[in-house]
Structure 1
Amino acid sequence: MTPPRWCLILNGKSAGDDAVRNAVDVMRGRDVVLDVRVTWEAGDADRYVAEAIGRGTDGVIAAGGDGTLSEVAAALAHRDKAADALPALGLLPLGTANDFATAAGIPVEALAALELVHGQAARPIDLLRLQANGATHWAANLASGGFGTQVTVETHDGLKKLLGGLAYLVTGMARLGRIEPIDARMRGPGFEWRGGFIALGVGNGRQAGGGQALCPEAVIDDGLLDVTIVPELSGEIGSTLATLLKDGRHVALDQVAVRARLPWLEIEADAPLVLNLDGEPVESNRFHIECVPGRVRMHLPADSPLLAPLA
């Protein structure tokens, strides 16, 4: 039997991680052919995925945070191949918040994450595709706007290293006194909304920004986006956001949020606004976001909350 061949695409920030090195050695000892490639600059992940496809690699594993996962997923998604003709996708979580991994139930221990890839068959999953300013962006997890986006963008890398996911909480609390709602118009099939919002989530996945569960019911294989809009709340913004940050996020959101489940969503604004796409800020007056069903295959726990139950 031919041993499986993987390509581990490792975020350069974690190149010296001993746990990753040991996990790679263990899997190689189990007859997995495992190539390791380290990203250094923009475009590396795409180049490594192209090399992996050319070698007939069975799977590519994103070793990093949500941004690394989306970068590798995008490198697969824009190929002119069907999902079953592409290498399957895996994730070894090494980020600050690991929002996708947390929601999906992927182990954070390096060896356990690689054993999941080895032992669990890949299933088709959807990806989020965003178009703005004539460019196309892909993401595995979530696009967010408003308060949560500013928290993520403004959180300093040094604070992330020191505090991990708590860094987003610290930054968020510091922003509570200077939150400005964003005016926008949104529409999708059978859905229209306009007004000022303080938080927006368009989810393939469920959470972003270090645990903000903006789309708590989202699954990644239903062909739909979960949209959550938190409208401007005059006189209650500070207390609402403090509760959102402190007490489980979606509990507060359920009381005030506008929700929809749509195959696509268009967002328009008179002034440019920023959406955070798994760590990548994209600024525009107009966005078209769609769910692309079954675009890649991914190794996930069989009982992952992000997967719809098998019929």
Structure 2
Amino acid sequence: MSKKRWLALLAVTVLFILSTTINLRAPATSSNWDELFSADDRKWVERTLREGDRKEKIVVLDVNGVIQDQDDTSFLFSSVGYRHRTFLSMLEYAAKDPDVEGIIIRVNSPGGGVVESAEIYDKIRSIQEEYFKKIYVSMGSMAASGGYYIAAPADKIFANTSTITGSLGVIMQSYNVSELAEQIGIQEQTIKSGEYKDIMSPTREMTEDERAILQSIIDDAYVEFVDVIVEGRGLPEEEVRNIADGRIYSGSQAVQLDLVDDIKSYEETVDALIEDLGLGNLQVIRYETSVGFNDLLQLSAQRLSMNQGDLLGLQQLVRQTNSPTLMYLYTK
């Protein structure tokens, strides 16, 4: 083993020992350290955006990026990203906090997974029904497909005139590389237990039966999307089906279609919620993801133990599956 590898192994060992020690002594950590590094299971901190005259507050939560349930630790390798489980726990925490009077969800997303979008929708509805807290949505530059799905149950939805929204519908995509494989001499060998086990295989044409099976699944998810808009916006089903053909809308067009309540900036949305609550000058806070000291140690260990190829994401790419996935997603 080279000297460089021995040094890397030694560094990983030291970091592992430090991480274990900190975990064992976490309860004794001072409050100052808690402010700098999250020591509990809550992977976020509260940051005050506006001071108020009383302890009651409204909370701002952000949905940035594609709505997918990925390993929350993966955010350490990128500066920005959506963390599904963390976002759901933020919603739950805000719901149970007696000082939180209202929630603003700032959506800047092209959508994402059908299941993940439904989980956010269900969480929002439960907060409204169980805790009777108002939830407003402020759309950023994009709140399309699943980004609109999670906005639909909100008490009010506001957008910018140039917000890209809509793209109401479901998509499932795959590639057919059979001709390319034939040209370069690649042949797939498949052993399967049933006729449809390799449905949407990228190395052959899709059959009509297979297309019908997948279309039925798409149709079921589409019906659910339509129902969410009908319930959330109080629109007739026929009208929703007419506008939910996959096209995108500007914020101004969405207001005309009653998909959005009004044109307001983020700051104006905050003001509107405070005014509608009628409780005076409430403080405004944002839940922001934090990096625990233990997370930093684990990240350093991972970086030292992986080769350069893995740091470029090749290991993650190999682990990904090509299985078809239902998406509420706006694709360009």
Instruction: Give TM-score scaled by structure 2 length.
Output: 0.29
Question: Which structure: greater strand fraction?
Answer: 1
Structure scoring higher RCO (CA < 8 A, sep ≥ 6) equals: 2
